[in-house]
Amino acid sequence: MVTGTALALGTAAVMAPPAAADGVAADPWVSVTPEGYYRFVAPQATVHELVGGQPKVVELQGNIGPAGTWSDLAMDPSGTDYPTQVGILDPGLYYYQYTATFEDRTKVSFRNPDTPVAIASKPTWNTFFVPGPQVAWMADIPNAGAVEELAHDTASGDEATSLVWTPPGYDADRADAYPVLYLLADDDQSVDEWTELGRARQVLDNLAAEGRLADMVVVMASVTGDDARAELLDGILPAVQDAYHVADEAASQAVAGIGTGAAHALELLRTDPGVFSEVGAFSVEFPSRPADPDRSQVAAINEGTDRLRIYVGNVLDPSYNATHDLLRTLERTGVEHEFDGVDPDTGGTWDTWREGLRDFASRVFQDGAHGPREGHRPLDAKYTAPAPGSITLPHVDENGIVTFETGTQFKDAKDVTVWANWAPNGAWFRVPMTKVGDRWRVQAGPLDGFYYYRYVVDGVDVKDPEDKVNTLTGVSPLFVPGETDRLLGDVPAEDRGELTTLTYQSQVANEERKAYVWTPKGYDPDRAEEYPVLYLNHGGGQNYGDWVEVGRATQILDHYIKEDAIVPMVVVMGNGNSSNYPAELMDNLVPAAEAAYNISSEPGQRAIAGLSMGAMNTLNAWLTRPGQFGWVGSFSGGLFWNTPVFDPDAVNAETRLARIYNGDRTDFTYDATMNLLTLLEENGIRHEFAGLTVGPHGFDVWSKNLIDFLPRIFRDQDKVTGIDLTAVVPEGQDGVLALSVAGNAVTLDGPQNTGTALRFTGALPAVTVTDSRTAAQAGVSGWAVTGQAYSFTNGTRLLDAKHLGWTPRVESPRPGLAAGDARATALGGGEGLTVPGRLASATPEGRVGSATIGADLVLDVPVDTAPGEYTGTLSLSLFPVD
C-alpha cells in the first residue's frame, strides 16, 4: 500500500519590484513581457532599407549566450516584422546588434537607426541593463558623481580626450588635493568603453555611496603612442593636474589597466618606481615578454609600491597564460604583490574587468585585506587547449569549458556556428565558430548540465558528422557534469538497466518497425509477478530513439532505480508516426512487447506518456481506448485539431492518475494545453495539472516532466489533507502501511536577505507513518517516504522547485528508523527538491509501529525575484522498499 500527500507551500512576503530595464526605452524595438522575457521586433521595411535588400536571415547577436558568450538568435519573419525574444535574463549589462545575412553569406550589422550611438568604438551595438539586487553596484543612483571629457595634447603633440570622474561634492578649492586613480584602456579599446561597457561611473558612484571608496578622482585614459610612458607621465598627468585639484605625490597616485594598458602600468613599476603607490593589472597582455627586474629594481618597486594587485578571468581569458607567467616572475624575483585569483565564471570580457575595477577601486588609498575574492581559484598551471585536429567530439575540461571543433569537411564554408539549447530558458542559440586552418573551432563556458547541438554550415543544419553513437536523431548530446541535471548523467555501468531493440510488424503502416525497450537492473524475465510497463511516446519529426539520445530517459530511469525512487518497471519507446496511433499502439506495439517481455496487461500496471505529438497520441489512446491505461502523462501537448469522441465515465473508471504538463508561455503548445484542461474539466475527467515548467517546447522541459512523472506511477495516489487518525492493527491480522500529515498547507516566513538570496523558512507538518503489516504481507521490505516539489508561481512568473530544500528529522527515533539526507537549495549549492528527496526510511527490523517525522524547509530565491505571493506544491509519497 502506498499513499501520498500534497502540501501547498506559499510565501506571504511581497518583494520590491525591479526597476525598468535601463536602456530598453532607448531602443523602441525592444520591450519586456510580463513574464520577464526581452522581446525584439524589427520592422521588415526598415531592415531592408538599412541593409540594402531582403536578406535570407536576420539575427539578434549579443552576449546573450552561455556564460555571456557572443551568440546569434534567429529573428524569423512574422507578418511585417522580424521578431524574437530571449530570457529570462540574469541581471547585468547586455550589448547586442542586429545582423542580416544574404544568400551569398555576406553580412550587414546594424542598430535601430532611431537610437543614439551607445558604444563609440562599436557603432552598430546597443546596450540594455537588466537590474537586480546582485548588480545594484552597477546601477544608476541619485547624487552621483560627474564624468567630464578632458581634451589635452599628447606627448607627441596630437590631440586626445580622457574621461574624468569626480566624486559627489567634489571641491576644487578644498585644502587637500584629491588622490587620483588612472585607468588605462587596452590598445583595441576606446577610452569611452570604461563608461559604456565597464559602467565605471555607476561602479564608482555606488562605492562612494556605500562608503567603500576613498574620496578620489578617477581618470580614464588611453596610451596608444610609441612611447606609452611619456604619453602618461608627460601628457596625461600634467593635463589632469592642471584641470583638477589632484595630488601629484606617489602616495596619492594609482594606476591600473586592461590588456596592454595593464602592461604599461606594470612597466612603470620598473622604469619609474615610486610614481604610483598602487598598481592594478586586469588581464595583462605584454606586446613582448619583458625581462625580469634585477635586484635593485625589485627593491625600488617594493619600497615605492603599497599595492600591486593582479586580476585575470578563466581559461578563456587570452591573458590567462601570460598572467601565470607574470605571477611566477613576481614570485621568483621577490616583487611583493597580491593575486585576486582566477575568476571562474568569466573570461577576458567586461564582466571580468568591471568586477575587477570594483574590487581594485574599493582598495586603493585604504587599508584592507590582500587575498583573493571569495570563490576565486589559484592559477597553478598554464592552460593548454586541445590541439587543432586532436578532438572529434566536443571536449569538456575539468572546469566546464567546452571546445567544439569540426573536421575538415567544412573547410570551404563561409560561416559555421554551433546551434544548441543553451539559451537562458533552454531555447536555441548559435555560437559563431572561427576558422583555424581547415577546421572550425570555438570554446564556450563554463557550462553545467545537459545540452544537445548541431552545426549550421552556411545556413544549413548539419548533425555532427563525428557523432557515430547517436544515429537516430538529428542532434548530438553534450553532457557537462556539474551541480545541475544530476539525473541526466550516467550511473556506474554496474547500476545500469539494459536497453534492447524490439522489432515488430506494423499492420497500420504496413512495415517492420523498431522500438527501444529499457529494463531495470535485475530484470527477471521469469519472475512470477509481471512488471508494470510505461509506453513512452516521442514527438513530431522524431522517432523511437529521441527519448534515449536526446531526452536521457535511460539515465533518469537508472538513477531512480539506483535510489529506490520509482517502482521497477519496463519502458517501451515505440514508433509513434502513425495515421491511427491508438490502433498502432494497441494492435501492434503492445502485443509485441507483451510477447517479448515479462510485462503486465492490467490497466493498473500500464502507463502511457508522451511529448508534443506524442502527448496528443497519448491522450487519444487514453480517451478512445478506456480501461487500457491507469497512468497517463501529457507533456506539452493537447488534442489540437482532433478531439475524439469518448465516454468520461469509462475513462475515469480505470484511470489512477492523469497528469498534464506544459512549458511556460514560450512553449507554443501553451494554448492547446489550456484548452485540454478546459475540456477535461467540462467533461468531469479526473486529472492533475502540474503547472508550467520553465522553458520552451523542448527536451529541457520534457526531461523535467519525465523526472516528475516517473515517481508517481504505479503507486496509490490518495491525497491526504488535514490530520488523519490511524489505528494500529495488531500483528496476526492483515495490517496497513499508511501515511498521514497534520495539515495540508505551510506558509513560509521571511524573507531574510542573505546577500545572495531571499530566504524563507518553515516547517513541514508532522508526518506519521504507520506500519502494521504482518510478516507475510511485508516480507523483507521496510518503507521510505520521499518528497518532491513543483514550481512556485505568482500567476505570471515561475520559481523553479530547485530553490526549495529541506533538512529531515525523526521525531520518534528508534533502531532501524533514519531521517533522509538534507537537500540544499540551488542557491545553496544543491539541486533542491526538484527531484525526489528521501524524508525518512525504515529497515525491515525498524518498520513496525508508528513513526513521526518532520523537516525544516528553506526556500532560497534570487534577490531580484519579481514581487508577489508565490504558491507551490510539495508531494510526499510512502512506499515499501527492500
The model's pLDDT over 74-119, given as tens digits with 9 standing for 90+, comes to 999 999 999 999 988 889 999 999 999 999 999 999 999 999 888 9
Q: What digits encode the pLDDT tens for the residues 571-618? A: 999 999 988 999 999 999 999 999 999 999 999 999 999 999 999 999
Q: C-alpha cell of 560?
A: 531512480
Structural domains counted in the chain: 5
Angle between helices 553-562 and 699-709 (to 10 degrees): 30
Instruction: Kindly state the helix (H) or strand (E) to which residue 808 belongs, with its residue range.
Output: strand 804-810
Could you report the per-residue pLDDT of 758-771, keeping only the tens digit for each? 888 889 988 888 88
Higher-pLDDT residue of 536, 837 = 536
344 and 210, same domain (yes or no):
yes
363's grid cell: 582598495
pLDDT in tens, 644-701: 899 999 999 999 999 999 998 889 999 999 999 999 999 999 999 998 888 889 998 9
* Cα distance between residue 624 and residue 65, in whole Å: 44
Q: Which of 94, 355, 310 is nearest to 200 (CA)?
A: 355
Q: How far is CA 397 from CA 350, 468, 480, 487, 682, in A?
A: 24, 22, 9, 20, 54
Same domain, 491 and 437: no
Same domain, 680 and 815: no
In this predicted model, which residue has the larger pLDDT, 127 or 877?
127
Residue 137 CA to residue 211 CA, distance in Å, equals 12
B/e letters for 97-125, b = 16+ CB within 10 Å, e = fewer, are bbbbbeeeeebbbbbbeeeeebbeebebb
Query: Structure pTM?
Result: 0.80
Domain end position, chosen among 450, 482, 514: 482
Q: Find how far residue 565's CA is from the centre of its chain.
A: 25
pLDDT in tens, 454-476: 999 999 999 999 999 988 888 99
- Residues 714 and 684 sit within 8 Å (Cβ to Cβ): no
- If asked whether residues 413 and 508 sit together in one domain, one would say no
Tell me how far apart the alpha carbons of residues 30 and 42 are, in angstroms, rounded to a whole number. Answer: 9
pLDDT grade for 153, boundaries at 50, 70 and 90:
confident
Q: Which of 433, 449, 482 is where one domain is finished?
A: 482
Cell of 202: 555607476
**Cα-based angle 752, 755, 761 (whole degrees, multiple of 5):** 30
- The CATH number that applies at residue 113 is 2.60.40
Q: Are residues 469 and 493 part of one domain? A: no
pLDDT at residue 666, rounded to an integer: 86
pLDDT band at residue 269 under the 50/70/90 scheme? very high
Q: Are residues 39 and 152 in the same domain?
A: no
Residue 750: what pLDDT? 83
C-alpha cell at 98: 542586429
Query: Three-state secondary structure along 568-594?
Result: CCEEEECCCCCCCHHHHHHHHHHHHHH
Predicted confidence (pLDDT) per residue in 540-581, tens digit: 999 999 999 999 999 999 999 999 999 999 999 999 998 899
DSSP annotation of 437: T
Q: What is the pLDDT of residue 23?
A: 46
Region of 653 on the Ramachandran plot (φ > 0 left; ψ -120 to 50 alpha; else beta): alpha
Task: Give the pLDDT confidence score for residue 723 in this predicted structure.
Answer: 26
Q: What are the tens digits of pLDDT across the range 270-328?
A: 999 999 999 999 999 998 888 899 999 999 999 999 999 999 999 999 999 999 999 99
| 435 and 540, same domain (yes or no) | no
Q: Please report the pLDDT score of residue 781 as a whole number.
A: 80
Q: Which amino acid is at 319?
A: S
Pairing state of beta strands 71-74 and 81-86? Answer: unpaired
Higher-confidence residue: 619 or 878? 619
Q: Does a structural domain hold residue 368?
A: no
Q: At what angle do helices 295-304 and 260-271 cross, to 10 degrees?
A: 100
Position with higher pLDDT, 626 vs 12: 626
In a domain, 610, yes or no: yes
Q: Cα separation of 253 and 275, whole Å?
A: 7
Which residue type sits at 384? T
Residues 444, 22: Cα–Cα separation, whole Å = 27
Q: Assess if residue 316 is contained within a domain.
A: yes
- State the maximum Cα–Cα separation within the chain, in Å, rounded to a whole number: 104
- Whether pLDDT at 16 is above 70: no
Pair (438, 306) in one structural domain = no
Percent of the chain with pLDDT over 70: 94
pLDDT of residue 59: 97
Mean pLDDT rounded to a whole number for the chain: 89
pLDDT reading at 722 higher than 60? no
Q: pLDDT for 787-823, tens place per residue?
A: 888 777 776 567 778 889 999 999 878 888 899 999 9
3-state secondary structure (DSSP) of residue 158: coil
Are 262 and 281 in contact, with CB atoms under 8 Å apart? yes
Q: What is the pLDDT of residue 15?
A: 32
Residues 540, 639 share a domain:
yes
Going by pLDDT thresholds of 50, 70 and 90, the confidence category of residue 721 is very low
Query: Which of 685, 712, 739 is the last residue before a domain boundary?
Result: 712
Question: Given pLDDT bands bounded at 50, 70 and 90, which one contains residue 734?
Answer: low
775 and 820 fall within a common domain: yes
User: In which region does residue 199 sit, left (phi positive, over 0), alpha (psi from -120 to 50) or beta (all else)?
Assistant: left
CB atoms within 10 A of CB 387: 8
* 498 — pLDDT class (breaks 50, 70, 90): very high
Estimate to the nearest angstrom the gap between the alpha carbon of 617 and the chain centroid.
Answer: 31
- Check: CB of residue 673 under 8 Å from CB of residue 638: yes
Position 542 scores a pLDDT of: 92
Asked if the model's pLDDT at residue 426 lies above 60, the reply is: yes
Statement to judge: residues 303 and 403 lie in one domain = no
CATH value at residue 341? 3.40.50.1820
50 part of a folded domain: yes
| Three-state secondary structure call for residue 125 | coil
pLDDT of residue 18: 32
DSSP 700-728: HHHHHHHHHHGGGTTS---B--S----PP
Q: Are strands 217-221 and 159-166 parallel, antiparallel or unpaired?
A: antiparallel
Q: Summarize pLDDT for 328-363 with one digit per residue, the tens.
A: 999 999 999 999 999 999 999 999 999 999 999 999
**Cα gap 251→238, rounded to integer Å:** 17
Question: Would you report the helix, strand and coil content of the chain in percent, each value rounded to 5?
Answer: 25, 30, 45
117 grid coordinates: 550611438
CATH number for position 407:
2.60.40.10
Task: Judge whether 388 lies within some domain.
Answer: no
Q: Convert the pLDDT of each residue in 394-423 to its tens digit.
A: 999 999 999 999 999 999 999 999 999 988
User: Would the pLDDT of 8 be above 60?
Assistant: no
Residue 383 lies in a domain: no
Same domain, 124 and 272: no
Do 696 and 663 form a contact (C-beta atoms < 8 A)? Answer: yes
Q: What is the DSSP string of 547-569?
A: HHHTS-HHHHHHHHHHTT-S---
In a domain, 602, yes or no: yes
Q: Which residue has the cell 511581497?
A: 14
Cα separation, 702 vs 711, whole angstroms:
15
CA-based nearest residue to 560, from 768, 740, 764, 715: 715
Give the SS3 label for residue 785. strand
Average pLDDT over residues 478-485: 82
Q: Is residue 366 part of a domain?
A: no
**Domain extent at residue 784:** 4-15+718-881
